[in-house]
Amino acid sequence: MSILVQKYGGSSVADVQKLKAVAGRIIQATEAGYSVVAVVSAQGDTTDELLAKAGEISVSPPKRELDMLLSTGEQISIALLAMAIAEEGYSVISLTGPQGGICTDHIHTKAKILRVDPGRVRKELLDGRIVIVAGFQGINDLGDITTLGRGGSDTTAVALAAALDAAACEIYTDVDGVYTADPRLVPNARKLREISHGEMLELASLGAAILQPRAVELAAAWGVTIHVRSSFGDALGTLVKGGDLMEKQRVVSGVTRDLNVVKVVLVDVPDRPGVAHKIFSTLANESINVDMIVQTTKQGPVTDLLFTICQDDYPLTRKLIEQVTEELNVSQVIYNEKLAKVSIVGAGMMSNPGVAAAMFETLAENGINIEVISTSEIKVSCLVDAKKVDVAVRAIHDRFRLGEEVIA
Amino acid sequence: MSILVQKYGGSSVADVQKLKAVAGRIIQATEAGYSVVAVVSAQGDTTDELLAKAGEISVSPPKRELDMLLSTGEQISIALLAMAIAEEGYSVISLTGPQGGICTDHIHTKAKILRVDPGRVRKELLDGRIVIVAGFQGINDLGDITTLGRGGSDTTAVALAAALDAAACEIYTDVDGVYTADPRLVPNARKLREISHGEMLELASLGAAILQPRAVELAAAWGVTIHVRSSFGDALGTLVKGGDLMEKQRVVSGVTRDLNVVKVVLVDVPDRPGVAHKIFSTLANESINVDMIVQTTKQGPVTDLLFTICQDDYPLTRKLIEQVTEELNVSQVIYNEKLAKVSIVGAGMMSNPGVAAAMFETLAENGINIEVISTSEIKVSCLVDAKKVDVAVRAIHDRFRLGEEVIA
């Protein structure tokens, strides 16, 4: 039994025509001899519509109830997709995340997969059925429904591929692969044939919005090769894999932007041990990811503390920071939602000094001020004015000549 | 711990304002000292919208997948209601049918409750939480989601009331009790203070659309008294209970109509043993309820066979009848969707001959032809032209003077 895991995002199943196209693609893989497990997201804007319903009732509803609500989105998709496949005369069954054996921790709305119990999926595959699994959701050991956070369906697909020892894991999206930059932003952006797990991880974390970072992390840990491809065509996409890559001689692989950023500045924080821990553990306890952190020295017994969070976490962060800053006697908190992050990613950066400097120079040439800088071994990120971030992406893409094919 | 089970129908939770009103009502009962378990249906037209989605994909989708789809409706309701209650500062938890321990058989879309495992509900009540349970749905022993058929939330509420040994079971609807006839049809229809399980069962089966028949059956079997009342006011409604009733001296308790009827006539069915069994077991195997059955004698080795089904089952019935009549060499099948059923119900009928005759006379006086008659100990039903059924209901209501209060 050669198992193929496919994942279809929300835009791939947004309406009846698209659902039928996805059904056709799954049937094609079945006819090619694969035992297919398809992981599906909620249709189109369903999740946002459900969030809006919750928003009418409460500004910060209990997260457990939010998961109860949101998980219906995928449940609708899997049922409809199974119907579309059955209509073509194929044997098929849909499974919710809990039924698919996706066991998670208790962190509602951002649960992590602890293990996959693939018993039911295997049984159905052995019985000759196509299996449709709801992405994004799982079950904790209380029997409660959890969700994996935005883009969690990718994680579901990779986890199932690992647990089932699948021959391949195909992630279908509305783009046909991983590009050097967002093609809607940069007309001469180029599709990459391959990219390493590490590079993809940085791209994913930085807002390329193609794969969920945790999915890539999991794929790296389990050695799962992901094939990112378009659900609207048959072209080969981009392979995200471990090991030696053909394109490793490229210093920079891609440029990304991330608009989902809020900058928080705490002015005059007491400069004594334990204060930073107090602030960031308060946020961590609520599973709020803090990205860039900068502490600046001042005269006297206080410092300024700056960090960024994503916009989804803004209301809750504000509430928590208000509590903690009152305790700590912080004089002022400034929030800025009008910033965006532009980043370059590339495994070749490690051995090429001067890459960051070239990026800063390009931004300066274009009159773009840098608010915060953050770097890792394979990426450089700058926080800039959101209105100027598109210009920044295009200028950096040109500077590193990413639109040109490199001959090995 | 005095447990109160309340059930709110789809129209009671149709929008945010109504959800908040229901939340207020539940909180009121909590403040009065009850441990409240609220059973909720899908919001407003959600179920019909989901059915329409399925209909775009398939004329007869797999029923298991239909259950997977439809059960999302209640899941949305319970999450939103729990949020509305939490917003008021009360401790609350929502549970799906499976989480609420509603264990059913395998008949998808018309599952029967085999047992209730109230462990989780009890635990949450003991922890001081208000518990919101999704009506209409359960789980079979494969771990698959089942639904209980139209109006199944009533059944969920009664089953939970029985399993939890609740002090009371209140069913909130958009009417404020059980009437002698539909008040929209008959202006002088009168609200009944009490009605027996048996009478309610006939009324429920005959399309009064206030309580689900199986819920009443279950209430009768377990001795659960149901309080039918309006979710939009505080007035007392109608008690549906066992034992001696104050109003038993009334011969006829109510008149109902049922528009959800399709008449099927099989012309020239071979008149030999096993034929009727063949036809009706084919329908029963697909859980299609057949109501009135009439067989008429003809000359020769054939008979005509007439029966009625409800409109939901029409497409499937047609398909099954086509197969079976081909095998049996039946010359013709006639379907008629333009009929309706008018019925009178009353425990007093048993000891009052002439009630049926009075009904037939009233229909004749109004120029209404009777197509089929069916009777039980406490009801008489006639199939008539759907266009004339409202006239029939009003005339019969007048004939038995149901609008007048009876002094015991």
Q: Can you list the domains of chain B with their CATH numbers?
A: 3-174 (3.40.1160.10), 262-336 (3.30.70.260)
Contact B65 A87 (CB under 8 A): no
Per-residue model confidence (pLDDT) at position A349: 78
Using CB atoms within 10 Å of the CB of residue A243, give its burial: 0 to 12 exposed, 13 to 18 middle, 19+ buried: exposed
Using CB atoms within 10 Å of the CB of residue A322, give its burial: 0 to 12 exposed, 13 to 18 middle, 19+ buried: exposed
Contact B66 A79 (CB under 8 A): yes
Which residue is closest to A73 within chain B, CA to CA? Answer: B72
CB-CB neighbors (< 8 A) of A16 in chain B: 56-57
A53, A94, A143: residue with CB nearest B80: A53
The encoded tokens of residue A342 equal 């532009």
Per-residue model confidence (pLDDT) at position A337: 93
Q: How many residues does chain A have?
A: 408
Q: Does A83 touch chain B (CB under 8 A)?
A: yes
Q: Does A21 touch chain B (CB under 8 A)?
A: no
Of A200, A381, A167, the C-alpha closest to A292 is A381
Contact B79 A54 (CB under 8 A): yes
Residue partners of B140: CB distance under 8 A and separation at least 6: B103, B104, B105, B106, B111, B146
Distance CA B336, CA B342 (A): 16
Successive 10-residue mean pLDDT values, chain A, 408 residues = 94 94 96 97 93 95 97 98 98 98 95 95 98 98 93 93 95 87 89 89 75 88 92 86 64 89 91 84 88 78 87 92 88 93 85 84 92 84 94 95 73
pLDDT by residue, tens only, chain B of 408 residues:
899 999 999 989 999 999 999 999 999 999 999 999 999 999 989 999 999 999 999 999 999 999 999 999 999 999 999 999 999 999 999 999 999 999 999 999 999 999 999 999 999 999 999 999 999 999 999 999 999 987 799 999 999 999 999 999 999 987 888 889 888 889 999 999 888 898 888 887 776 678 888 899 899 989 999 999 987 788 889 999 986 555 456 788 899 999 989 999 998 888 887 888 888 889 988 888 888 888 777 777 888 888 999 998 999 999 999 988 888 888 899 999 999 999 999 877 777 778 888 999 999 999 999 988 888 878 889 999 999 999 999 999 999 999 887 654
Q: Does A121 touch chain B (CB under 8 A)?
A: no
Q: Which amino acid is at B22?
A: V
* Best of A57, A66, A92 to mutate (most B CBs within 10 Å, chain B): A57
How large is the ipTM? 0.76
CB-CB neighbors (< 8 A) of B47 in chain A: none
Contact A87 B20 (CB under 8 A): no
The encoded tokens of residue A47 equal 């999740």
Q: Residue A334, Cα to own-chain centre: how many angstroms?
A: 27
CB-CB neighbors (< 8 A) of A82 in chain B: 62, 65, 68
Contact B75 A79 (CB under 8 A): no
Per-residue model confidence (pLDDT) at position A198: 86
Which residue is closest to A100 within chain B, CA to CA? Answer: B143
